[in-house]
Chains A and B, each alone.
Chain A
Amino acid sequence: MKKIFFLITSIQFFFTISGFDISSKVENNSRLFVFDGNIFSDILFFEAESKKNFNEKLDLYFDIQFENDLSVVIKNIKGLTDTENFNKNFFKIYEAKIFFRKYPFDFIDVTVGKTFYNIGKGFTVSPADIVNPDDLSDPLRMDRKVTKGMFLVESYFKFFDLNIIYSPFFVPSILPKGYIDLKDYFGNLNIKDSIIYPENIFQSSELFIEILKNINNFQTSCFYGYTRTTTPLPSNLKIQMVTPILAFADAKFHFPRMNTFGLSFSGSFADASIWFDFVHNYIRDNKFKIDLTDFGKGIVDTSFSKDKIFFNFLIGFDYNISGKYYFMTQFVHGLRGTYGEENLNDYLFFYSRISFLNEKILFEPLNFAYEIVDWKNLKNEGGLLINPKITFNLMDDFSFGFSFYYINGTERSYFKKIEKFGCLELTTKVFF
């Protein structure tokens, strides 16, 4: 902790004397995993956003984050000597970018550095947000993105805006613990897996183009992405007999290229805000080989999806009643990171909020997500996440809140994979 505070203080000091405008946040999340042995976790999160405006044309921006896991769990005697067990610190430069305003021409803004860019009009789970992969290290925070190095050119023309993003570095999603468990596929086989990672610049580069147009109170955009899958897909699988009674699986994974086209729209209809994202995906390589030579069956061609083409979409709307009651709903066909039509599940997200005392108390009684695995078998297949929450903003720059996560799902649902994260949570936030 001393090192962390020293680092925080040093960075704050450096940015302050350098004339940066700093906004910081300390957030503490205490969780009691009531469905997983009453394990307690306590994560301290610090974020400092610093911006310096050098002149009319040039801004420099940093977002630095520290995370400290306050919980200590020692499993053996050796663990008592390992300081890593006592100081689980994570430091990351979340964003570091230079913004060139109206440069080289008045109608162009250029951003260079590590950042994120959202295309979709939907929130949190938009399938159109394809530029940055997801950070699902904390699956209860589905809106977190992995930032990456990019060169972003935003051009503002008379009749439309054109944004071009080039990213030389491919970065996959950070997955929740247990998201891919090879034992689910191979049972008790000894398994070795490896990933064929796109290393050279031509393999790892990604390109995104978005054209935007506002028509009255409607925002529309169409986009194209030359990208890769953000979760690994099987490339080759070899099953070998080590002894007559012992088999061994060698699984190779890769991130195949994708060509993605899409449309986004947001506007209003009959007093409700509405938005819509549609994504057409073409995955270059949906096949993989299983080498069963040792079993006398040769090499078998198979695929993880029937077709190379599949679609995602999201439709959402929100509504405000008397300024106090707000609700929002989104229907999503396929979460990001899932590929192939037959692998996509549908989700209905519902969010509601009642504000009291001029937003000093925000009560979210009915937040839920319902997962549909099979429309023909709604009774027996699916998932459910329920998340009521209350937040108190009783003074400026300080808030605290309680929330409860109940997560449950059947075998083929995403919620099954994260159901052990069901918990009671206390969150405090201080901004300074």
Chain B
Amino acid sequence: MKNFLVTLVLILNFLTLGANELTLEKILEKVDNITNAPKDQTIFITITLIDKNKDQSIRKITMYQKGQDKRVGKFTYPKEQKGLGFLSLPGNIMHIYLPAYKKIKNITSQSKNGSFSGTDFTYEDMEMSSFARDYTGKILNENDSLFLLELFPKKEKNSFYEKLLITVDKRFYIPIKIEFFEKGKCSKILERKKIEKIKSYYVAKEMIMKNIENDHQTIMNYDSIFFDTNLSDDIFTDRFLKEQ
């Protein structure tokens, strides 16, 4: 009887441990659920570009996103780029609108590696994506407060990056640091800061993308953000994209 009880306790302990230990898939799902928890978001963003001489340049953009896979952004500043916009849709579809020509252009997976308006973000970085859907990998490390994940993009993602190293804060399940790897080395580091709870959602209101190669960085600040305003599906269309 004593042996039976010991065995039972060991089995229960093992099962409990298994239940508490999160798999990579579970972590990524949690990250996706936190990141994309709002039904929709309208974000007014100021983007500051800082070069190695500390010279600054400003961009302003209004971005709308819905669910996990729809995003549209339109530049409002500088005047030179006003009206320029992009639309990201499910299935790796990305369109940009060129107001001077009044034409909509497709962005291919290769072109997604191009700089997003001179920033250190690429079009791929601006695309909506789901970690659980688009990446595989493993948990490299874990402590009381952080997960360190190594992620490889799935083929369907058509990513330009070879891998990502992601540091996830266990309190919010928000990736607070992402290291982007190209050609075997880290090319950029994204840091998410100023995490706040707005309504019932956690948001990192500041993102800093550092380009390792040229010592350039881009700071993306959320000036204001509105959740769950029932954005119409009409916004995520070419019709809205080309509206002046």
Residues in chain A within 8 A of chain B (CB atoms): 23-25, 51, 59, 61, 99, 101, 109, 116-118, 121, 123, 143, 154, 156, 161, 214, 216-219, 266-268, 271-273, 318-320, 322-323, 326, 355, 357-360, 393, 395-397, 399, 429, 431-432
Contact = CB atoms under 8 A, between A and B. Distances in A.
A431 B110 contact: no
A140 B98 CA distance: 20
B102 A116 contact: yes
B228 to A, nearest CB: 20
B110 A320 contact: yes
A323 B113 contact: yes
B106 A217 contact: yes
Contact of A358 (B93, B102, B115, B243): B115
Contacts of B120: 358
A216 B105 contact: no
B121 to A, nearest CB: 11
A221 to B, nearest CB: 11
A216 B244 contact: no
Report, nearest first, the 6 A-B pairs whose CB atoms are least far apart. Answer: A271-B110, A359-B118, A431-B79, A268-B108, A320-B111, A431-B80
A130 B91 CA distance: 33
Interface of B: 49, 51, 55, 57-58, 78-80, 82, 91-94, 100-111, 113-115, 117-120, 122, 211, 214, 216, 237-239, 243-244
A101 B57 CA distance: 34
Contacts of B100: 143
A273 B79 contact: no
A357 B111 contact: no
Nearest to A398: B80
Contacts of B243: 99, 101
B57 A396 contact: yes
B113 A322 contact: yes
Given A217-B93, A320-B111, A431-B78, A358 B214 contact: yes
A51 B79 contact: no
Contacts of B103: 118, 121, 123
B106 A266 contact: yes
Highest count of chain B CB atoms <10 Å: which of A25, A357, A399:
A357
Given A318-B111, A323-B114, A358-B214, 11 more contacts: A121-B103, A217-B92, A217-B93, A320-B108, A320-B110, A355-B115, A358-B120, A359-B118, A360-B118, A393-B118, A431-B79
Given A118-B101, A123-B101, A320-B113, A397 B49 contact: no
B79 A432 contact: yes
A99 B239 CA distance: 13
Contacts of A359: 115, 117-118
A26 to B, nearest CB: 11
Nearest to B242: A154
Contact of B105 (A25, A59, A266, A360): A266
A217 B93 CA distance: 6
A273 B118 contact: no
Contacts of B118: 358-360, 393
Nearest to B107: A273
A397 B106 contact: no
A424 B118 CA distance: 27
Given A118-B102, A216-B91, A396 B111 contact: no
A61 B244 contact: yes
A101 B114 CA distance: 33
B22 to A, nearest CB: 35
Contact of B78 (A109, A273, A396): A396
A118 B104 CA distance: 10
A123 B100 CA distance: 11
B239 A109 contact: yes
Contacts of A429: 80
Given A116-B102, A268-B106, A360-B118, A273 B111 contact: yes
Nearest to B160: A323
Contacts of A218: 106
B218 to A, nearest CB: 8
